[in-house]
Amino acid sequence: MSLKTLLPLLALTGAGLGWQHKTETEARDALKANEHSLVASTFVNTDNSDASTALEKHWSAVEDAVPAALSVDCSTSASLCSEHDVASYPAIRLYRQDGMKHHYRGPRKASEITAFVRRMLRPAVVPLDSKAAKSFNKDDDVVLIAHMAESETSLRERFTEMAGRYRDRYAFGLTTIDEAPGRIACYNNADGAFHMTSELDEVDSMEKMLKKCASQLVPRLTRRNEAKYLSSGKSLTYFFSTVEENLDSWTSAVKPMAKQYHEYITFVTVDLGEYPDMPSLFGLPPDATEGVAVYNPAVGLAFPFKGDKITVDAVAQHIADISEGNADAWQVGEPTADEEIVEQVMEEVPVKGRDGSEVETEETKEATKETGEEKPEIHDEL
């Protein structure tokens, strides 16, 4: 058998192994011997056992990519987990020999976890010359490169401080230029977006620029970001699935529509291995393995998609039906006292055609007749 044939088979074999936990002694030896160790601490018989099970299918790929990766079962290695203050499961941490540890709080998928390790093992800010900067700008999903003169010590310090806080999520580089003023370029490679600014005098200007640039068109729901999206003031369109490939495919397919509606709706993907109870909260069958629901957190109303097949066009029509008052609402949590709120949930979300242009509904036509005013043009540029 050729090596070309053997490698994929080996990868498939590894993917099916599941957890290969180290004993407490083996884990302690690894932590002492390795310059760094990536450790997943699990505990199946807990309220978070679904999340541990969801991580299991990704962990063999992590161990293939990160030789110093290992997992421990806290039900049999209780003293080790207690020493390292592991209180929730699964916990993923990168430990260094010098005692430093870094918590991973991103999506629990192999590609994201290995990217986290890569970021943490390089300098928080990578020094670059002009040639290296051209390749480094593609090194991660989000890359920030500061172009600053030697004399701009304050800007350099602020950039380094920001990189220290966000290095687990993004890549940071610094190239020295001959003359001020400095500038920062940000590459959102995941969404094909680019931002640049030299307006860096305000203390929070760098962080504002980073947050704007790093904002994802179609984010994955995590414990770290769930509060952010619920309090954003926008409606949310959730795509639920148990299959990682389907989540990734949907992310790619729905991006054009997410760009059209970005002022009003955030499109979010949800791994049901991490959030198994979410579908039923939004009016979908409790045993659903895939589904879509549009949710307005401000009023606690969801609109579950009831079509036979989930496609971008079908979901676009579902959003149009909601906007026109032709979709059934599902109360999430305690009901609101306002009986007319259903009609108001999506009133500020314009119905859009396939090309992104706004479609005039019967309601807007009537409103125009009554007021004699034309509706102002809405611009959707990012």
Cα atoms found within 13 Å of the Cα of residue 254, Cβ hemisphere only: 28
**CA-wise closest residue to 265 among 290, 297, 243:** 297
Q: Could you identify the residue written with the tokens 């995941």? A: 190
Number of H helices, E strands in the chain: 14, 14
pLDDT digits (tens, 9 = 90+) for 348-373: 555 555 455 554 544 444 444 444 44
| Model confidence pLDDT, tens digit, residues 38-87 | 999 998 665 556 778 888 889 999 999 999 999 999 989 999 999 999 98
- DSSP annotation string for 161-212: HHHHHHTTTSEEEEEEESSSPPEEEEEETTTTEEEEE----STTHHHHHHHH
pLDDT of residue 87: 84
Ordered structural domains, the chain, with CATH: 20-120 (3.40.30.10), 126-214 (3.40.30.10), 226-371 (3.40.30.10)
Residue 296 predicted with pLDDT over 60: yes
Q: What is the largest CA-CA distance in the chain?
A: 78
Which pLDDT belongs to residue 95? Answer: 96
Question: Mean of the per-residue pLDDT values for the chain?
Answer: 85
Radius of gyration (Cα) for the chain, nearest Å? Answer: 24
pLDDT above 70 for 220: yes
Residue 3: exposure state from Cβ atoms within 10 A (0-12, 13-18, ≥19): exposed
Element housing 125 (H / E): none
Task: Report helix, strand or coil for 103.
Answer: strand
Q: What is the DSSP letter of 238?
A: E
Q: Is the pLDDT of residue 374 over 80?
A: no
